[in-house]
Amino acid sequence: MRHAISGALAFLLSTSSLLAAPAQTPEQIAAAALKEAPVWDGHIDVPEQLRDRRHNVLKGFDFHDTTREPGDDKWNTDAKPKIVPMQTDLTRMKQGHLQAVFWSVYVSAALNDQQAVQATLEQVDVMKRIIAANPAEMQLCVDAACVEKAWKAGKVASLLGAEGGHSIGGSLAVLRTLHEIGVRYMTLTHFKTTPWADSGTDAPQHNGLTPFGKDVVREMNRLGILVDLSHVSQKTMLDALEVSGAPVIFSHSNAQAISGHPRNVSDEVLDKVKANGGVVAVNFFPGYISPGQYAWNAQRAGVMAQQKALHPDRPDVAAAALADWEKANPKPVATLADVVAHIDHIKQRIGIDHIALGSDFDGGSVGLQGLPDTSAYPALFVELARKGYTKEDLKKIASGNFLRVLKAAEVYAAAHKGDAAIENPTVF
């Protein structure tokens, strides 16, 4: 009897101590999540900045501090280069708990096939040189096992993603070559429609993917290259999801139900992403996340076109009229809360297992209040925790979902290792 009483007393004491334990604050929940699962960003455009600002010449470049980098020629209005800070460097990445990145190997969609292929190879090269120059902090990775190994070593797992199907110049041989040199995702289009896939921001020509475009998806699956559906049209999204045997990603996209930009992901597509096992990495670009800013940009474009039509001989008058309109109609400010709204919608629609982050830092995500650069991810996780997201939820958003998808793509590729390469005829 004495043992039973003492056992009951011990149980009551342990229960009361649990009840008395203070609830964790949002800051504590976020910190605990990021300690166990560092941030993995699906899309950062440092290679683009190196090309625009430095023409890929790295002499004198210090990736520990990019806040004093001179801007490219587009920003210069006099002989002295202006200082236009970048959003990414190793110091701020550490502050932001950023330990895995798909570095975007972006090249302009205006280039012809041969130019695009060359530029893509140059962008792969410059990012590899940055990684090699910082071996204590960065590690080039081509698979999930390497990502986890890099984390254990306290390094940034650095993967490469090609932004735009024009990067392969219409050649599956080039696609295979990109895989050989380390590229692990490819966005099927950028701003312009390719000869085999419709873009979300260009006139459609193919009603989605052409037969060759579907072969591109199949060959990416076979190789283990993630199919990235950011930038593509809704029909291209649906076609790719129908064809792909492996989970797809949206490396930097948002929910169309929150902001109606055609580049964002519709609920119909989100439902198919869930069935596919894929992931949508929410983007921080103000024009995509803020419905007010999306509408304002459209209105501004209309005013600009009208003034140019009214004053074709007086560009100064047209510019003054546009400036007056902007003064009377201030641009809406996009905020961290807008990002949370997109995450909330995707969670409610298809669940926490399909959400990641794809900031687009150094590629356009400028002016977002609350998320200025790569030091700021913790602020987003605190806000999500404040809204009731659990530590396990936050770990999935931070990097767990990306890790799962990459592993699934690798399993698919391993199962199809013996399949013959898909061939397409050379054109010259």
List the catalytic residues. Answer: 43, 45, 163, 190, 231, 252, 360
CB 359 within 8 Å of CB 365: yes
**Cβ-contact 138, 130 below 8 angstroms:** yes
Show Cβ contacts of residue 245 under 8 Å, excluding neighbours closer than 6 positions: 218, 221, 412
Cα–Cα dist 27/384, whole Å? 10
Residues forming a β-bridge with 249: 228, 279
Cα(74)–Cα(397) distance, integer angstroms: 35
Residue linked to tokens 């604050």: 25
- Residue with token string 């902090």: 137
φ and ψ at 311, to 5 degrees? Answer: -130, 60
What type of residue sits at position 226? Answer: L
For residue 59, report the phi and psi dihedrals to the nearest 5 degrees. -60, 125
| DSSP string for residues in 123-164 | HHHHHHHHHHH-TTTEEE-SSHHHHHHHHHTT-EEEEEEEE-
Distance CA 253, CA 246 (A): 19
Tell me how crowded residue 32 is: count the other CB atoms within 10 A of its CB. 15
Run of H or E including 414: helix 401-415
Q: Which two tokens stand for residue 376?
A: 């700021």
How many whole angstroms separate alpha carbon 274 and alpha carbon 400? 16
In whole angstroms, give the CA distance from residue 176 to residue 215: 13
Q: In the 3-class helix/strand/coil scheme, how is 307-362 assigned residue by residue? A: HHHHCCCCHHHHHHHHHHHHHHCCCCCCEHHHHHHHHHHHHHHHCHHHEEECCCEC
State the angle between helix axes of 26-36 and 377-386 in degrees (0 to 180), rounded to the nearest 10: 130
